[in-house]
């Protein structure tokens, strides 16, 4: 799934954008985190090639860049799917059975938490309370909320995403 | 001074000392894990906590500063309880299995657990990601199950050797030490120096070559000097019986302060190779047969006598060895001068730093590095020209990187974007062989902008007007046209050097291995004198010498113009002095032949016999085909060596010698530091020390030489007969290295030459020098410039490193580095075999396409014989010292169809 991002990197105009982002922040103190923020905005994650460019342009060891990326859960080392499925494991949802729903999601998508399907369509994540406890158990797909879920809803929701107008707002 | 009470003991202390320092000074033990003396700033482990009376909490002794009247207790119940907690937490995470651990017996965690009476952790903490073993590196095993995250390895990698590979990644209980962006160490940018292993307090990092070889308590440590480059690092050999099982750097020893590179740390096992020469060999009908010492030595002596009797002493020549100890080189030049009465003695400084010796003697009066490696870390400006330091002198480069990070400006000048350029404030990509023009350009700016040190020049230098007139012919525009460095950069570098003083100039063979090598050296000296950067700390002209003892071989008089201690052979007083001391008459009083002349005279049959001691000339001299032709033309060739080499194949007699670690003696490093080399095992078979071999030949010339050991040679002849070394006795050297000049027993040696501008020959001599191009420049038939050098993982022709486990794996073959532009134009892929040819030879070699190489340049080394760069290089030499122009000749490259 990386092939697209890395293979064409040399011709990828995003390289120049990364260089521009670094140049913009480079001379301010603690520049690395804002740079990583913006670059992740560009790619949706932080590919190895982008890490290398950031390290080179900032003249810092790549181990330091990776150290920061891996420290903060906000930064991602892997590409995200078109649909980010996020299941709430907060207390209310958990009590209302989000555990078995997560299992069903894993089974349906054939991936684990934090992983992305081979076709690049879905990424499965877990999260803490979304503030929609009244609808527990809850999941979101690209920000759209699905509540009062049962296991049987899962295949329907996933299938819905695959149709062109699956009702999923990007 | 203030007073502190620790465990009821009243201690005197300085104000800015830590509790840990004061306790250690007073023999009070406080355990530490993460602490590294002098460079520590993380205070992460907290095992060193102590109770300070009146303080609200326990204080880490490594960070807490002492105060007058402070009362400290290091072993109260609250302290011990806190330490128990820390150790239990460390033990509960990972797998700390001591049974087969290499570190057992010297592991800090094991010791602290023992002190606290902890047997096994009372609880277990599971990490989400199980720590694993990374066995991917050739030299280092990372067992993350034993890691206690003290960060010492990260500090060693980033702050000591500045290789910037290791860091901490992830967080919480998943925190782990990572290489680059969390890839296996073997695939990472790690250069396998092993500094992290030396820093690891537990068994998380181990030297792969040492695993299973010895328990820590079975080992004795012997201090010695590294057998590779001219930095002269101090090593501890960890001995079990007569086997070296591990090597570590000697902490607090000069010059390396505990640091080692991959060759120094892991390149020790060649001495145990089954290929070692064990018996004298005599060639009969084209084949070697074993012989007794008497038979071989009689043959050598008789043959030399015969040739000297018929053709005179000029018909024999000798090449001494810059790898072996001082005492051996001294003895060989004595053999040639006192026994053979031949002036023809030289050694491989001829092919590297002879221009340094000649140039610096002319400029300053003394032909050695003026300052010391430790000063690289302290200076304000580092001007590095023509030096591939990170590969050829890795430990010297760590001090340069330290200096840059301590705030010095780093200027790197080189045709290739060598690794050190990545750390530079200014990198000037100069055209091969344009150094004098570039340096004159810098001096032009210093003079026209009035930035030079007028007081220093007036008081301590002569010939300024001539220099000024000459450099005014090189305004930045002209210097830029010749050197390819922009006018703006020439101006900004000159200003940077003037603004950041004192500064140190550092150079290597990029300066010397040119037809204008001596001029290049003197030009660097000009620049530093103009800046007033000579004769003071953190300044000077600092050539990095090639071999471990090439400084020493020069010092010992293995040169055609001087006795040891640079006493001229043409000086009647020196001749008389040595005739008396050696009890001989008729020492040759003319200059002898330099190596290139010896080869030419072998070819023309004017010279009949050559004695080659420990040098693989067939691989290291330029134009290999020519060297072979000359050796084939010789009537008689003798080699002392430890292995068969490409050169010994042409010998009539090969004499097996004791290697490094098989004899007692001394090496002298590039900063003039004489250091002890110690014996830890016997030579194999009936191999003998080289000085013994030379003495036995002298005996057959009717001379009885008394000295019977390295120490007797040094103390009874070398030191008393040369003022430079007179005060450096063997006993004194046993306490640690001494930098010459050291003239009296009280003299501690000389860290800085020409102190306060008092040059050896009065005033420093400024030289008006013109730029001259290389002898062979690219043309239509040979459109590329070939420049040569060394790579990190091998030393020269691999006689030693090729027989060390792992090093061949790290660099398995030769490459020709070419630019991306040329590769694209010629359709050459990275890793493809290509042909490189010059007017002298042709090699097939793998292309390494590199962004570090400029268009039009091919860069090669001489580590593998079949595609050694020296099949291609030119014999054109420096006009003064005849040092060959290894850095420039014309070649063509072709794709293999």
Write out pLDDT tens, residues B201-236: 999 999 999 999 999 999 999 999 999 999 999 999
Provide the CATH number for the domain around residue B36. Answer: 3.10.20.740
Q: Where are the beta strands (DSSP E) in B96-212?
A: 133-134, 140-143, 166-169, 176-179, 205-207
Provide the CATH number for the domain around residue B849. Answer: 2.40.40.20
CA distance B817 to B388: 14
Q: In the predicted model, what is the mean pLDDT of residues B541-552?
A: 94
A52 and A7 assigned to the same domain = yes
Could you tell me if residue A58 is inside a domain?
yes
Phi/psi of residue B688, nearest 5 degrees? -130, 160
Sort strands B205-207 and B220-225 into parallel, antiparallel or unpaired.
unpaired
- What is the band of B597 on the pLDDT scale with cuts at 50, 70, 90? very high
Provide the CATH number for the domain around residue A119. Answer: 3.40.30.10
Instruction: Report the residue from A48, A59, A67 with minimal CB separation from B167.
Output: A67
CA distance B300 to B635: 12
A88 and A52 assigned to the same domain = no
pLDDT for the residue numbered B410: 98
Could you tell me if residue A52 is inside a domain?
yes
Sort strands B857-861 and B815-818 into parallel, antiparallel or unpaired.
antiparallel
Residue B278 sits at the chain A interface (C-beta within 8 Å): no
Chain B residue with minimum CA distance to A62? B180
Last residue of a domain, one of B543, B566, B586: B543
Residue B165 sits at the chain A interface (C-beta within 8 Å): yes
Show residues of chain B in contact with A51, CB under 8 Å.
181
A88 and A138 assigned to the same domain = yes
Mean pLDDT computed over every residue of chain B: 95
B336 and B375 assigned to the same domain = no
Helix (H, G, I), strand (E, B) or coil at B407: coil
Whether A61 and B171 lie within 8 Å, measured CB to CB: no
Whether B178 and A62 lie within 8 Å, measured CB to CB: no
Could you tell me if residue A141 is inside a domain?
yes
pLDDT for the residue numbered A7: 39
Could you tell me if residue A170 is inside a domain?
no
Whether B170 and A71 lie within 8 Å, measured CB to CB: yes
pLDDT for the residue numbered A28: 84
Task: Quote the tokens at residue B30.
Answer: 């406080």
Chain B residue with minimum CA distance to A56? B422
Could you tell me if residue B193 is inside a domain?
yes
pLDDT for the residue numbered B129: 67
**pLDDT more than 90, % of chain B:** 94
Whether A63 and B165 lie within 8 Å, measured CB to CB: yes
B701 and B843 assigned to the same domain = no
Residue A28 sits at the chain B interface (C-beta within 8 Å): no
Task: Quote the tokens at residue B798.
Answer: 């691999």
Indicate which of A6, A63, A66 best probes the interface with B, i.e. most B CBs within 10 Å of its own CB.
A63
- What is the band of A168 on the pLDDT scale with cuts at 50, 70, 90? very low
Residue B824 sits at the chain A interface (C-beta within 8 Å): no
Is B823:B894 a contact under the CB 8 Å cutoff?
A: no
* A vs B: CB pairs below 8 A: 42
CA distance A123 to A169: 16
Statement: residue B130 has pLDDT above 90: no
Strand partners, B143: B133
Phi/psi of residue B45, nearest 5 degrees? -90, -30
Q: Which domain holds residue B71?
A: 2-75
B587 and B679 assigned to the same domain = yes
pLDDT digits (tens, 9 = 90+) for B276-295: 999 999 999 999 999 999 99
Indicate which of B142, B157, B167 best probes the interface with A, i.e. most A CBs within 10 Å of its own CB.
B167
pLDDT digits (tens, 9 = 90+) for B687-696: 999 999 999 9
Indicate which of A36, A59, A62 best probes the interface with B, i.e. most B CBs within 10 Å of its own CB.
A62
Task: Quote the tokens at residue B819.
Answer: 């630019």
Could you tell me if residue A168 is inside a domain?
no
Residue with tokens 């060693």: B156
Could you tell me if residue B673 is inside a domain?
yes
Provide the CATH number for the domain around residue B711. Answer: 3.40.50.740
Name A163's Cβ contacts closer than 8 Å, sequence gap at least 6. Answer: none
Provide the CATH number for the domain around residue B202. Answer: 3.30.70.20
B172 and B306 assigned to the same domain = no
Instruction: Report the residue from A48, A63, A65 with minimal CB separation from B166.
Output: A63
Could you tell me if residue B456 is inside a domain?
yes
CA distance B675 to B659: 17
Residue B418 sits at the chain A interface (C-beta within 8 Å): no
Task: Quote the tokens at residue B578.
Answer: 């040595």
Could you tell me if residue B86 is inside a domain?
no
- What is the band of A169 on the pLDDT scale with cuts at 50, 70, 90? very low
Chain B residue with minimum CA distance to A63? B180
Show residues of chain B in contact with A52, CB under 8 Å.
181
pLDDT digits (tens, 9 = 90+) for B778-821: 999 999 999 999 999 999 999 999 999 999 999 999 999 999 99
Please give the angle made by the CA atoms of B873, B879 and B881, to the nearest 5 degrees: 85
Residue B114 sits at the chain A interface (C-beta within 8 Å): no
Element containing residue B414 per DSSP (H, E): none
pLDDT for the residue numbered A41: 85
The interface pTM score, or ipTM, of the predicted complex is 0.85
CA distance B249 to B453: 40
Q: What is the CA radius of gyration of chain A?
A: 18
Last residue of a domain, one of A71, A95, A130: A71
pLDDT digits (tens, 9 = 90+) for B728-758: 999 999 999 999 999 999 999 999 999 998 8
Statement: residue B540 has pLDDT above 80: yes
Sort strands B857-861 and B784-789 into parallel, antiparallel or unpaired.
parallel
Task: Quote the tokens at residue B573.
Answer: 């007083």
Phi/psi of residue B445, nearest 5 degrees? -65, -45
Residue B166 sits at the chain A interface (C-beta within 8 Å): yes
pLDDT for the residue numbered B586: 94
CA distance B864 to B862: 6
How many Cβ atoms are within 10 Å of B628's Cβ, its own excluded? 17
To the nearest 10°, the Cα dihedral for B531, B535, B537, B543?
A: 80
Show residues of chain B in contact with A75, CB under 8 Å.
none
Bond preceding residue A137 cis, omega within 30 of 0: yes
A151 and A102 assigned to the same domain = yes
pLDDT for the residue numbered A166: 47
Is B103:B203 a contact under the CB 8 Å cutoff?
A: yes
Last residue of a domain, one of B509, B543, B577: B543
CA distance B174 to B176: 6
Could you tell me if residue A65 is inside a domain?
yes
Last residue of a domain, one of B543, B562, B595: B543
Could you tell me if residue B779 is inside a domain?
no
pLDDT for the residue numbered B171: 84
B154 and B293 assigned to the same domain = no
Could you tell me if residue A8 is inside a domain?
yes
Bond preceding residue B502 cis, omega within 30 of 0: yes
Statement: residue B588 has pLDDT above 60: yes
Statement: residue A10 has pLDDT above 70: no
Is B389:B400 a contact under the CB 8 Å cutoff?
A: yes
Strand partners, B844: B835
Residue A93 sits at the chain B interface (C-beta within 8 Å): no
CA distance B381 to B492: 13
A96 and A139 assigned to the same domain = yes
pLDDT digits (tens, 9 = 90+) for B61-109: 999 999 999 999 999 999 999 999 999 999 988 889 899 999 999 999 9
Q: Which domain holds residue A148?
A: 83-162
**Å between A93 CA and nearest CA of chain B:** 23
A98 and A53 assigned to the same domain = no
Statement: residue B619 has pLDDT above 60: yes
pLDDT for the residue numbered A8: 43
Statement: residue B126 has pLDDT above 80: no
Q: In the predicted model, what is the mean pLDDT of residues A109-127?
A: 89
Q: Where are the beta strands (DSSP E) in B459-616?
A: 461-462, 503-507, 541-543, 562-563, 567-568, 609-613
Instruction: Give pTM, 2 decimals.
Output: 0.92
B167 and B311 assigned to the same domain = no
CA distance B453 to B43: 45
To the nearest 10°, the Cα dihedral for B730, B733, B734, B737?
A: -160
CA distance A143 to A165: 16
Residue A169 sits at the chain B interface (C-beta within 8 Å): no
- What is the band of B41 on the pLDDT scale with cuts at 50, 70, 90? low
| Per-residue DSSP letter, B803 | G
Query: Can you list the alpha helix ranges (DSSP code H) found in B291-393?
Result: 293-311, 326-334, 354-363, 389-392
A90 and A144 assigned to the same domain = yes
B340 and B385 assigned to the same domain = no
Output the CA–CA distances (angstroms, integers) from residue B621 to B461, B611, B862, in the order listed.
37, 16, 10
Query: Can you list the alpha helix ranges (DSSP code H) found in A26-166?
Result: 32-43, 48-58, 62-71, 91-95, 98-109, 153-162
Name B582's Cβ contacts closer than 8 Å, sequence gap at least 6. Answer: B334, B338
| Per-residue DSSP letter, B636 | E
- What is the band of A2 on the pLDDT scale with cuts at 50, 70, 90? very low
Least confident of A111-115, B237-241, B725-729, B830-834: A111-115
Residue B164 sits at the chain A interface (C-beta within 8 Å): yes
The dihedral built from the CA positions of residue B195, B197, B199 and B205, taken in this order, carries a sign that is positive
Query: Can you list the alpha helix ranges (DSSP code H) found in A89-152?
Result: 91-95, 98-109
CA distance B140 to B599: 44
Statement: residue A85 has pLDDT above 60: yes
Backbone φ/ψ region at B252: left (φ over 0), alpha (ψ -120 to 50), beta: left
Is B94:B131 a contact under the CB 8 Å cutoff?
A: yes
CA distance A58 to A33: 12
Q: What is the CA radius of gyration of chain B?
A: 29
Statement: residue A156 has pLDDT above 60: yes
**Å between B416 CA and nearest CA of chain A:** 18
Helix (H, G, I), strand (E, B) or coil at B118: coil
Residue A131 sits at the chain B interface (C-beta within 8 Å): no
Name B146's Cβ contacts closer than 8 Å, sequence gap at least 6. Answer: B94, B95, B96, B97, B101, B103, B202, B203, B204
Distance from chain centroid for Cα B275: 26
Task: Quote the tokens at residue B187.
Answer: 């695939």
Element containing residue B626 per DSSP (H, E): helix B624-633
Residue A75 sits at the chain B interface (C-beta within 8 Å): no
CA distance B18 to B61: 7
Could you tell me if residue B479 is inside a domain?
yes
pLDDT for the residue numbered A167: 45
B561 and B520 assigned to the same domain = no
Task: Quote the tokens at residue B768.
Answer: 């008006």
Could you tell me if residue B96 is inside a domain?
no
Mean pLDDT computed over every residue of chain A: 85
A107 and A65 assigned to the same domain = no
- What is the band of A164 on the pLDDT scale with cuts at 50, 70, 90? low
Total domains present in chain A: 2
Q: In the predicted model, what is the mean pLDDT of residues B357-365?
A: 93
Q: How many CA atoms lie less than 13 Å away from A158 in the CB half-sphere?
A: 22
B537 and B553 assigned to the same domain = no
B145 and B261 assigned to the same domain = yes
Instruction: Report the residue from B166, B170, B180 with minimal CB separation from A70.
Output: B170
Residue A71 sits at the chain B interface (C-beta within 8 Å): yes
B688 and B585 assigned to the same domain = yes
pLDDT digits (tens, 9 = 90+) for B293-337: 999 999 999 999 999 999 999 999 999 999 999 999 999 999 999
Last residue of a domain, one of A43, A71, A99: A71
B420 and B290 assigned to the same domain = no
pLDDT digits (tens, 9 = 90+) for B716-729: 999 999 999 999 99
Last residue of a domain, one of A34, A50, A71: A71
CA distance B614 to B496: 44
Whether A64 and B167 lie within 8 Å, measured CB to CB: yes
**Å between A60 CA and nearest CA of chain B:** 8
**Å between A156 CA and nearest CA of chain B:** 33
Total domains present in chain B: 5
Could you tell me if residue A89 is inside a domain?
yes
**Å between B893 CA and nearest CA of chain A:** 27
Residue with tokens 């061949």: B808
pLDDT digits (tens, 9 = 90+) for A35-84: 999 998 888 889 999 999 999 999 899 999 999 999 987 788 888 888 88
Largest CA distance in chain B: 93
Element containing residue B19 per DSSP (H, E): helix B19-25
A89 and A64 assigned to the same domain = no
A141 and A91 assigned to the same domain = yes
Could you tell me if residue B743 is inside a domain?
no
Show residues of chain A in contact with B162, CB under 8 Å.
none
Name B662's Cβ contacts closer than 8 Å, sequence gap at least 6. Answer: B271, B679, B680, B681, B682, B683, B687, B689
């Amino acid at each position: 799934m990386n092939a697209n991002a890395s293979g064409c990197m040399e011709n990828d105009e995003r390289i120049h954008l990364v260089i521009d982002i670094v140049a913009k922040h480079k001379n301010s103190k603690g520049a690395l985190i804002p740079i990583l923020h913006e670059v992740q905005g560009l790619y949706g994650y932080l590919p190895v090639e982008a890490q290398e460019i950031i390290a080179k342009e900032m003249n810092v060891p790549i181990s330091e860049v990776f150290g920061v990326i891996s420290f903060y859960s906000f930064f991602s080392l892997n590409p995200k799917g078109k649909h980010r499925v996020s299941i709430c494991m907060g207390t209310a949802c958990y009590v209302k059975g989000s555990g078995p729903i997560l299992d069903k999601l894993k089974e349906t998508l054939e991936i684990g938490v934090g992983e992305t399907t081979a076709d690049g369509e879905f990424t499965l994540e877990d999260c803490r309370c979304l503030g929609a406890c009244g609808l527990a158990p809850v999941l979101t797909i690209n920000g759209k909320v699905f509540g009062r879920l049962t296991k049987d809803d899962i295949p329907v929701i996933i299938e819905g995403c695959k149709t062109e107008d699956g009702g999923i707002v990007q | 001074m203030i007073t502190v009470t620790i465990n009821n003991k009243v201690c005197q202390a300085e104000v800015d000392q830590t509790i840990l320092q004061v306790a250690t000074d007073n023999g009070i033990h406080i355990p530490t894990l993460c602490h590294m003396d002098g460079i520590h700033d993380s205070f992460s482990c907290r095992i060193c906590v102590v109770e300070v009376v009146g303080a609200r909490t326990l204080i880490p002794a490594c960070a807490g500063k002492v105060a007058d009247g402070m009362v400290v207790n290091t072993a109260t119940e609250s302290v011990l309880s806190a330490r128990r907690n820390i150790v239990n937490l460390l033990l509960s995470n990972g797998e700390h299995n001591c049974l087969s651990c290499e570190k057992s017996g010297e592991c800090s965690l094991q010791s602290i657990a023992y002190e606290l009476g902890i047997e096994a952790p009372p609880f277990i903490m599971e990490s989400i990601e199980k720590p694993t073993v990374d066995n991917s590196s050739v030299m280092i095993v990372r067992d993350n199950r034993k890691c206690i995250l003290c960060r010492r390895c990260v500090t060693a990698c980033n702050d000591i050797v500045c290789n910037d590979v290791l860091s901490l990644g992830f967080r919480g209980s998943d925190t782990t030490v990572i290489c680059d962006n969390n890839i296996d160490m073997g695939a990472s940018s790690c250069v396998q120096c092993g500094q992290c292993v030396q820093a690891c307090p537990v068994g998380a990092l181990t030297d792969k070559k040492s695993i299973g070889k010895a328990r820590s308590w079975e080992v004795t440590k012997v201090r010695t000097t590294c057998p590779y480059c001219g930095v002269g690092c101090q090593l501890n050999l960890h001995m079990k019986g007569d086997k070296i099982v591990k090597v570590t750097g000697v902490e607090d020893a000069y010059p390396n302060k505990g640091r080692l590179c991959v060759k120094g740390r892991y390149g020790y096992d060649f001495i145990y190779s089954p290929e070692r020469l064990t018996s004298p060999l005599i060639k009969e009908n084209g084949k070697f047969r074993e012989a007794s010492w008497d038979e071989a030595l009689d043959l050598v002596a008789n043959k030399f006598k015969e040739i000297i009797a018929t053709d005179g002493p000029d018909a024999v020549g000798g090449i001494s060895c810059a790898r072996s100890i001082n005492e051996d080189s001294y003895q060989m030049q004595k053999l040639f001068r006192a026994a053979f009465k031949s002036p023809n003695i030289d050694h491989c400084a001829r092919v590297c730093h002879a221009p340094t010796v000649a140039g610096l003697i002319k400029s300053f009066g003394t032909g050695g590095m003026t300052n010391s490696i430790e000063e690289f870390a302290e200076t304000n400006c580092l001007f590095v020209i023509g030096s591939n330091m990170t590969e050829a002198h890795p430990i010297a480069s760590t001090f340069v990187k330290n200096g840059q990070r301590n705030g010095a400006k780093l200027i790197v000048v080189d045709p290739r974007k060598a690794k050190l350029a990545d750390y530079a404030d200014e990198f000037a990509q100069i055209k091969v062989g344009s150094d004098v023009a570039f340096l004159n350009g810098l001096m032009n700016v210093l003079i026209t902008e009035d930035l030079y040190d007028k007081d220093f020049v007036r008081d301590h230098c002569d010939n300024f007007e001539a220099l000024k007139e000459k450099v005014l012919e090189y305004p930045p525009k002209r210097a830029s046209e010749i050197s390819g460095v922009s006018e703006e950069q020439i101006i900004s570098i000159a200003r940077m050097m003037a603004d950041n003083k004192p500064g140190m100039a550092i150079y290597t063979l990029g300066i010397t291995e040119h037809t204008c090598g001596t001029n290049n050296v003197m030009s660097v000296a000009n620049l530093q004198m103009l800046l007033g950067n000579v004769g003071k700390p953190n300044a000077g002209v600092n050539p990095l010498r090639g071999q471990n003892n090439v400084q020493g071989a020069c010092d010992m008089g293995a040169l055609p113009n001087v006795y040891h201690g640079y006493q001229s052979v043409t000086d009647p007083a020196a001749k008389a002095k040595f005739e008396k001391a050696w009890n001989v008459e008729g020492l040759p009083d003319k200059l002898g032949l330099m190596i290139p002349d010896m080869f030419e005279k072998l070819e023309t049959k004017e010279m009949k016999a050559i004695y080659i001691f420990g040098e693989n000339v067939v691989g290291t001299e330029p134009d290999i085909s020519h060297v072979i032709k000359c050796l084939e033309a010789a009537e008689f060739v003798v080699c002392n060596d430890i292995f068969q080499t490409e050169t010994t194949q042409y010998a009539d007699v090969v004499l097996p010698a004791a290697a490094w670690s098989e004899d007692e003696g001394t090496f002298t490093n590039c900063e003039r530091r004489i250091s002890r080399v110690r014996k830890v095992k016997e030579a194999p078979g009936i191999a003998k020390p080289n000085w013994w071999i030379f003495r036995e030949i002298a005996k057959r010339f009717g001379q009885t030489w008394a000295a019977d050991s390295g120490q007797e040679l040094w103390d009874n002849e070398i030191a008393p007969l040369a003022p430079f070394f007179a005060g450096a006795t063997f006993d004194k050297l046993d306490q640690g290295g001494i930098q010459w000049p050291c003239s009296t027993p009280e003299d501690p040696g000389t860290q800085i030459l020409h102190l306060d501008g008092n040059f050896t020959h009065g005033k420093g001599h400024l030289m008006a020098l013109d730029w001259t191009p290389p002898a062979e420049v690219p043309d239509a038939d040979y459109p590329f410039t070939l420049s040569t050098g060394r790579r990190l993982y091998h030393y020269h022709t691999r006689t030693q490193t090729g027989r060390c486990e792992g090093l061949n794996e790290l660099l398995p073959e030769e490459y020709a580095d070419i630019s991306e532009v040329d590769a694209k134009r010629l359709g050459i892929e990275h890793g493809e075999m290509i042909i490189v040819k010059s007017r002298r030879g042709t090699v097939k070699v793998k292309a390494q396409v590199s962004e570090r190489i400029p268009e039009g340049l091919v860069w090669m080394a001489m580590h593998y014989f079949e595609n050694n760069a020296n099949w291609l290089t030119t014999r054109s030499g420096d006009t003064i010292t005849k040092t060959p122009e290894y850095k420039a000749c014309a070649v063509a490259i072709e794709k293999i169809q």
